[in-house]
Amino acid sequence: MSQLFSPITLRDVTFNNRLVVAPMCQYLAEDGNANDWHLMHLGQMSMGAGGLVFTEATHVSPEGRITPKCLGLWSDDNERTLKRVVDFCKTHGVARMGIQLAHAGRKASNRTPLNGAGPLAANDGAWQTLGPSAVAYGDWPAPRALDDAGLAMVKQQFVTATERSARIGFDTAQIHCAHGYLMHQFLSPLSNRRNDGYGGTIEGRMRFPLEVFEACRAAWPENLPLGVRVSASDWVDGGLTVDEIVEFAKALKEKGCDYVDVSSGGNDPGQKITLGPGYQVPFAERVRQEAGIPVMAVGLITDPHQAEAIVSSGKADFVAIARGAMDNPRWAWHAARALGAETEYPPQYIRCRPDSWRAAPAVMAPAAE
């Protein structure tokens, strides 16, 4: 039997398979509001790309957005428009729905990729970014270091967005602590130069992300799983290491974290990443084995047999895909066929399932009058 297509239960939520559609920024929101693009994008993913589909990074405040076109969840309008999308997915799709809650920190106030990326100019609406320390990302504008009031503000923004996520009806939520965004900035010695209790050793650097997680866990329904996405390496000498992420994962588990989504990089423009099929899987395997917590593996996982081997060998509990799902929003259907497994289809599409071709009765022509 396929382990990739076996169910797994976290708290009271059962996922029908171990395939996850990873968050993918779309840069098409208006004032943080979801629209028809998001309904189309997430709606098609919910039909057959995986057993769990995440929103793109959904930002907890306007100043926390990567770009002015990023999705948000700080207002009633944000909540209403995103609920429309999620209601559609849960009514017509077959996947569980997850949200990734994020704050970009010093990597905020950017142009969208199709507009050249990089920091916004003042006449394009640039805003003051925030960070653990006044340390810039490369040659970008330096952020303002968060003081005690700023830390309390950001924590409350995450809590409020968590409460909104629960009202919308998400099955799981994930705190974004990866890819060089604010929580990762606190974790990494490259961006966190604080000399108070929130800096220094990994115990100090993970203090604020743990406080945010703990506050969100208290605001999130007890019966629903809550996880974290991490970067297990900065891929820079002197940066964040997988050893430190293992310690972070252990502390998260003690505070009620249900899974860790293990990625890497994003916090320093000088990173040197060694790419290859499943190149981040060893990070996920170490976190799983040493922290004793369920993990998601992601990164150049493109083949169903590759994904099956990752799960069946115990390297990860879930496999997350992104570009593969964009290329083929029915990735799970085709992976199940390749592995001789079964997966769920929406009733409206059941006629395209291979076994239905053989079982379906012949279509009769109308009787002659």
Contact 340, 38 (CB under 8 A): no
Contact 55, 100 (CB under 8 A): yes
Q: Is 21 exposed, middle or buried (0-12, 13-18, 19+ CB in 10 A)?
A: buried
Task: Look up residue 118 and give its amino acid.
Answer: G
Of 172, 249, 165, 159, the residue nearest 10 (C-alpha) = 172
Beta strands in the chain (DSSP E): 8-10, 13-15, 19-21, 52-59, 96-102, 130-131, 144-145, 172-177, 226-231, 259-263, 295-298, 318-321
Which residues does 293 contact at the CB level (< 8 Å), separation at least 6?
A: 249, 250, 252, 253, 257, 258, 259, 260, 287
Angstrom distance (rounded) from CA 301 to CA 307: 6
36-71 burial: b if 16+ Cβ within 10 Å, else e: eebbebbbbbbbbbbbbbbbbbbbbbbbbbbbbbbb
What are the residue numbers of the active site?
181
